[in-house]
């Protein structure tokens, strides 16, 4: 029986996960098919329920479902519960268990890509959704001294700040559209974009919340967006002389952790990275 795995999100035209995960299944000669499952919010519950079937190993979850999917699962592990977002579902004999591999993928790729140790640093986090929750949690666990959360909907930034404050007291929430953003960027050691700003095929394609003159040359700028590989924010950061890290590495590392949870096997990182780069190149030429 061919096992099925996929990714829930809407829209999904940008996703590299099918190419990356299929490469891992093929490498290990596992009879499994990884598919993209574009899922509007109104049918999420129906689609998630299918995962209880014996044919399904589980799923990944992306924008906009990482928070809402939690209420549809039977149990959620401690890290995902602490973060308040799920990006990986495992079918354990008909029981659906939620996990979060984003925090692990984010920190591992940040350290590898920038060479920076987050401990004692000041971070600016753009966005307050599911991916931002994972980044804020991971940065707090790594011992950053301060996080500013900037979001266009201020109450969501305030809410995330309140949730992080038990593990990091120095958290500030601001509007991404206000003047405080420039001050926060000027004093940041680490700048992280967790929004879809700059994503290819999105309404914000070609846009950046910050420009080169607003980015310190000493900062590490991390963009979770991986399509295009050099986003508008990363382009601005390069002009500023800052260290830049793209989102593909995070996708690979969080995907590798998810693969291990589904199969119990170590993911072939190099194989997955090559598949991701190839698929991204094809997208860029479309």
| Residue 150, domain CATH | 3.40.50.720
When mean pLDDT is compared across 4-13, 117-126, 185-194, the lowest value belongs to 4-13
> Number of structural domains, the chain?
2
Look at residue 239 in the predicted model and tell me its pLDDT.
98
d(CA 48, CA 69) in angstroms, rounded, equals 8
Place of tokens 């899922």: 39
Look at residue 285 in the predicted model and tell me its pLDDT.
63
* pLDDT surpasses 90 at 12: no
Residues 268 and 173 in one domain: no
One of 54, 66, 111, 121 is an active-site residue; which one?
A: 66
237: how many CB neighbours lie within 10 A of its CB? 29
Average pLDDT over residues 155-159: 97
Place of tokens 């991204």: 280
Task: Give alpha helix (H) positions in the chain.
Answer: 17-27, 44-49, 78-83, 102-114, 130-141, 154-164, 180-186, 232-240, 248-263, 269-285
d(CA 233, CA 253) in angstroms, rounded, equals 22
Residues 195 and 118 in one domain: yes
Look at residue 54 in the predicted model and tell me its pLDDT.
97
Average pLDDT over residues 54-58: 98
Average pLDDT over residues 188-203: 91
φ and ψ at residue 257, rounded to 5 degrees:
-65, -40
* pLDDT surpasses 90 at 72: yes
Average pLDDT over residues 192-215: 91
Residues 156 and 171 in one domain: yes
Residues 138 and 228 in one domain: yes
For residues 92-123, one letter each, b for 16 or more C-beta atoms within 10 angstroms of the residue's C-beta and e for the rest, the string is eeeebbbbbbbbbbbbbbbeebbebebeebbb
Q: Please, how many CA atoms are within 13 Å of residue 117, restricted to the half-sphere of its CB? A: 3
Domain that holds residue 241: 103-246
Residues 183 and 136 in one domain: yes
Are 237 and 211 in contact by the 8 Å Cβ rule? The answer is: no
205 falls in which pLDDT band (50, 70, 90)? confident
Residues 27 and 114 in one domain: no
Residues 50 and 127 in one domain: no
Residues 124 and 196 in one domain: yes
d(CA 20, CA 275) in angstroms, rounded, equals 5
Residues 107 and 242 in one domain: yes
Say which CATH number the domain at 41 has. Answer: 3.40.50.10860
Residues 65 and 128 in one domain: no
Residues 12 and 79 in one domain: yes
66 given a catalytic annotation:
yes
Look at residue 19 in the predicted model and tell me its pLDDT.
96
Place of tokens 């890509």: 113
d(CA 268, CA 261) in angstroms, rounded, equals 14
Average pLDDT over the chain reads 95
* pLDDT surpasses 70 at 167: yes
Look at residue 171 in the predicted model and tell me its pLDDT.
98
């Amino acid at each position: 029986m061919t096992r099925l795995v996929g990714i829930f999100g809407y829209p999904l035209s940008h996703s590299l996960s099918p190419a990356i995960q299929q490469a891992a299944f093929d490498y290990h000669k596992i009879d499994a098919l990884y598919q993209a499952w574009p899922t509007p919010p109104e049918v999420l519950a129906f689609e998630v329920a299918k995962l209880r079937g014996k044919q399904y190993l589980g799923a990944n979850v992306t924008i906009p479902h990482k928070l809402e999917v939690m209420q549809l699962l039977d149990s959620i592990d401690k890290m995902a519960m602490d973060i308040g977002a799920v990006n990986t579902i495992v079918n354990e004999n008909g029981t659906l268990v939620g996990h979060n591999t984003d925090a692990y993928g984010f920190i591992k790729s940040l350290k590898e890509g920038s060479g920076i140790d987050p401990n004692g640093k000041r971070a600016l986090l753009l966005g307050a959704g599911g991916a931002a929750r994972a980044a804020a949690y991971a940065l707090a666990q790594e011992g950053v001294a301060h996080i500013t959360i900037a979001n266009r909907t201020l109450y969501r930034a305030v809410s995330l700040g309140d949730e992080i404050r038990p593990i990091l007291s120095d958290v500030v929430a601001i509007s991404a559209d206000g003047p405080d953003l420039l001050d926060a960027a000027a004093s940041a050691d680490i700048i992280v974009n967790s929004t879809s700003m700059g994503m290819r095929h999105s309404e914000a394609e070609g846009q950046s919340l910050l420009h080169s003159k607003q980015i310190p040359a000493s900062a590490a700028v991390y963009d979770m967006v991986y399509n295009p590989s050099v986003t508008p924010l990363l382009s601005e950061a390069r002009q500023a002389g800052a260290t830049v890290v793209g989102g593909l590495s995070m996708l690979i590392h969080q995907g590798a952790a998810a693969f291990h949870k589904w199969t119990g096997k170590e993911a072939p990182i190099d194989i997955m990275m090559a598949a991701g780069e190839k698929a991204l190149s094809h997208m860029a030429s479309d």
